[in-house]
Amino acid sequence: MTHTSDPALASFDSWMAAELAAVEAKLDQLVVADTPAGLGEVMRYGVLDGGKRLRPLLALAAAAAVHGRREAALRAACAAELIHAYSLVHDDMPCMDNDVLRRGKATVHVEYGEARAMLAGDAMQALAFEVLAPEDEDLIPAALQARLCRLLAQAAGVQGMAGGQAIDLASVGQPLSETQLQDMHRRKTGALLQGAVLMGAACGNPSATAWAALGDYGAAIGLAFQVVDDILDVTQASATLGKTAGKDADQDKPTYVSALGLEGARARARDLHRRAIDALQGSGLGDAALRLTQLADRIVEREF
């Protein structure tokens, strides 16, 4: 893993800061305030100025690794973030997780009411696909538009994030085996993270070997992210996390910590990190995959 004295880490931090600024500027442009009945204001509250932007970073790093089209990659990055943001808005509502804190501020339904929060989430989801299908095909060729929309829909739909959320809601108070837990989080959290990697890769022309390896990387890092999330939920304070700590335990939800114990969960995160790095090493991308390696390091080392 990288360390603070490593010059590559300083370079990574500079890359990340620049890419985060590019994503924020693009989201600011795409999520407009001028909408009927102030809906855009609600959307902007739920999307802008918060979050780790991990999905956009994964998409942009994957696109760079395969020399992908920049505008297509940036739009793919924003589309993945819009899907993620909409899922958080809906997740936090009383009919789901009933949370009041997200990204260090009041959740959308607390700030604007349940009905407007629901509509804002719906509109974010639609906007994600609109972003991937601009009328100007010089920005994204039609065939690539279709491929990106398919990848995002698969990641977000019944076999991906939405299906995983359904399993999550149905599993409250029920012990799950590690296999069942992995299946739930592979869908709920992992699918969109993996999808972001593959959307970025689709913006270039990777070999079959590289495509498969990037898919394996995305799957491993997607699960690693959730394992670390479960660890942080029991080891960090709400102020650090920017969301309510201990929520899963309070709601009697199965987690990697409840299934494996704290040390077992940490060991699983390390194992998934190794799998992700091994996948990159077998991708044939060489040094072009450095940012993806560094993102994997950052995901398992994070404290919020």
Helix axes 54-65, 7-30, angle to 10 degrees: 110
Residue 1 lies in a domain: no
Take residue 95 and report the two structure tokens written for it: 């009919």
Q: Is residue 205 in a domain?
A: yes
Q: What does the pLDDT read at residue 185? A: 95
Tens digit of each residue's pLDDT (9 = 90 or more) over 229-260: 999 988 987 666 666 766 766 677 889 998 99
* Spatial separation of the C-alpha atoms in residues 2 and 79, rounded to whole Å: 29
Picking from 245, 235, 237, 292, the residue whose alpha carbon sits closest to that of residue 266 is 235
Among residues 79, 67, 68, the alpha carbon closest in space to that of 30 is found at: 79
Q: What would the pLDDT profile of 128-154 be if each residue is shown by its tens digit?
A: 999 999 999 999 999 999 999 999 999
Residue 273 within any structural domain of the chain:
yes
Question: Of 164, 275, 300, which is closest to residue 219 (Cα–Cα)?
Answer: 275
The whole-number pLDDT of residue 232 equals 93
How many other CB atoms sit within 10 Å of the CB of residue 300? Answer: 20
- Return the CATH number at 235: 1.10.600.10
User: Which tokens in the block code for residue 275?
Assistant: 């799998």
**Does residue 24 lie in a domain region?**
yes
User: Amino acid letter at 250?
Assistant: D
Q: Which domain covers residue 68, as residue numbers? A: 7-301
Tell me the two tokens of residue 160: 């991906």
Residues of the chain with pLDDT under 50: 1-4
> How many domains does the structure of the chain reveal?
1
Tokens of 175: 């012990």
**CA dist., res. 281 & res. 295, Å (int):** 14
Give yes or no for a contact between 238 and 99, defined as CB atoms under 8 angstroms apart.
Answer: no
Within a domain: residue 151? yes
Domain assignment of residue 179, yes or no: yes
Give strand pairing partners of 101. Answer: 106
Task: Tell whether 2 is covered by a domain.
Answer: no
